[in-house]
Amino acid sequence: MKGEPQLGRAGTTSSLVLGIETSCDETAAAVVREGREVLSNVVASQIATHSAYGGVVPEIASREHLRQIAPVVREALQQAGVSLADICAIAVTEGPGLAGALFVGIAYAKALAFAAGKPLLAVNHLEGHIYSALMRHQSAKKAGKKLLALVVSGGHTHLYIASNPAGPREAAWHYEMVGRTVDDAAGEAFDKAARLLGLGYPGGPWIAALAERGDPAAVRFSFAQVKAKGQGEANAATPAVLFSYSGIKTAVARTMELRGMKAAAERRREVLVREPNSAPDALLALCEPAALDLAASFQQAMVEDLVRKTLRAAQIQNATDIVVTGGVAANVRLRRRFSEEAAKSGLTVEFPVSGLSTDNAAMIAAAAWPKFLQSQFAPPELTAQPSLRL
């Protein structure tokens, strides 16, 4: 589609991108001006539907996306006070994510682009997460610098060096992976620990709510030191910094067994099966002190490991600016500890604004803006790429 009329360039009709995101369990649409100004950001969560299963059921996710996609897009346009005719392009997540879930968003975006005669832009979900932080960062004086980006979500715990050598704010960023998890993602560990404790899905907000009332020093967790082959060389084949979060789940399970905590977890699970929409506060009466302590200790261990290794990566890469993004970046303690430790080392750290850490479509519309300016339109054969890398 290269060479099509380039609506939206300075002085022409529109600079509004409609973003669509359906990679996992949130059906989302948003309208963003010039990759920065969020006019609307609508997210229909499927949490209540999946929480009974303790995780996302792919088939159910696809059906829910199909049910929600049209009303969510209509709502995003309405809240922005615009019609499809006012949009310069439609951006959609092409991967990574659940194949069936991605298909729904891509098929809908293609049909909408075709019917409205608008160009289609394909966005990597991980770049979207980075843009949710860059949206702020770009407006600062940082463009043209290299940044260290930690994407920490339910599916990823990855470190990238993001650079924008061209300098202008609209230029595309380039990414080099310099760290990753060798097994579970950090968000996955939060989800698994919450599940063991008989709490709801997704686990992060539940653990965070309980952790406020527990003693973070009550249980000690240690992380295996994962060694990369050729450690120190930072390239995609041998990243310098590796995370590992599969062992901590086993440690949580063992602690619960040793301290006789399984019966209380089962009682909480039963309540959640009956009342899947319960909030953490509603379950507090069923949380014994040992459960609160375990949640607090688990959260502290996860946060300290993420902070320590990310700062080490910043040192190795000689990066002075860090962005932390993805669902786990919503964690208040993580934000505080990153800010404290970065300040001690003379580094800056930025996070997405509230509501843009977890999956959303504003980040997809924002990441699409440089692609629109450079006419990097998606081909009509665009399809889902469940294992897409950045």
Structure tokens at 112: 């909408």
Q: Kindly tell me which of 64 and 293 has the beta carbon lying closer to Zn ion.
A: 64
Q: List C-alpha distances in Å: 96 to 133, 295, 388.
A: 19, 30, 5
Q: Kindly tell me which of 113 and 211 has the beta carbon lying closer to ligand KG4.
A: 211
Dist. CA 289–CA 194, nearest whole Å: 15
Q: Residues with Cβ < 8 Å from 115, sequence gap 6 or more?
A: none
Smallest distance, Å, CB 87 to Zn ion?
Answer: 23
Question: Interacting stretch for ligand KG4, rule CB under 6 A, among 80-88, 160-168, 204-212, 225-233?
Answer: 204-212
22 binds ligand KG4 (CB under 6 A): no
Q: Which of residues 68-107 bind ligand KG4 (CB under 6 A)?
A: none
Dist. CA 312–CA 318, nearest whole Å: 10
Which of 16, 17, 20, 24 lies at the binding interface for ligand KG4 (CB under 6 A)?
24
Structure tokens at 18: 């409609």
359 binds Zn ion (CB under 5 A): yes
Partner from Zn ion, ligand KG4, none binding residue 280, C-beta < 5-8 Å depending on class: none
Question: Interacting stretch for ligand KG4, rule CB under 6 A, among 109-117, 165-173, 185-193, 244-252?
Answer: 185-193
Structure tokens at 344: 């001690």
200 binds ligand KG4 (CB under 6 A): no
Question: Interacting stretch for Zn ion, rule CB under 5 A, among 1-9, 148-156, 341-349, 372-380?
Answer: 148-156
Which of 94, 191, 321, 350 lies at the binding interface for ligand KG4 (CB under 6 A)?
191
208 binds ligand KG4 (CB under 6 A): yes
Smallest distance, Å, CB 189 to ligand KG4?
Answer: 8
Q: Which of residues 140-179 bind ligand KG4 (CB under 6 A)?
A: 153-155
Which of 15, 44, 359, 365 lies at the binding interface for ligand KG4 (CB under 6 A)?
359
The count of residues interacting with ligand KG4 (CB under 6 A) is 20
Q: Which of residues 302-341 bind ligand KG4 (CB under 6 A)?
A: 326-328, 330-331
My answer on whether omega of the bond before 96 falls inside 30° of 0, hence cis, is yes
Which of 51, 132, 153, 299 lies at the binding interface for Zn ion (CB under 5 A)?
153
205 binds ligand KG4 (CB under 6 A): yes
Structure tokens at 247: 């062992």
Q: Kindly tell me which of 23 and 297 has the beta carbon lying closer to Zn ion.
A: 23
Dist. CA 180–CA 371, nearest whole Å: 26
Q: Which residues contact ligand KG4 (rule: CB under 6 A)? A: 24, 153-155, 187-188, 190-191, 202-205, 208, 326-328, 330-331, 358-359
Q: Which residues contact Zn ion (rule: CB under 5 A)? A: 153, 359
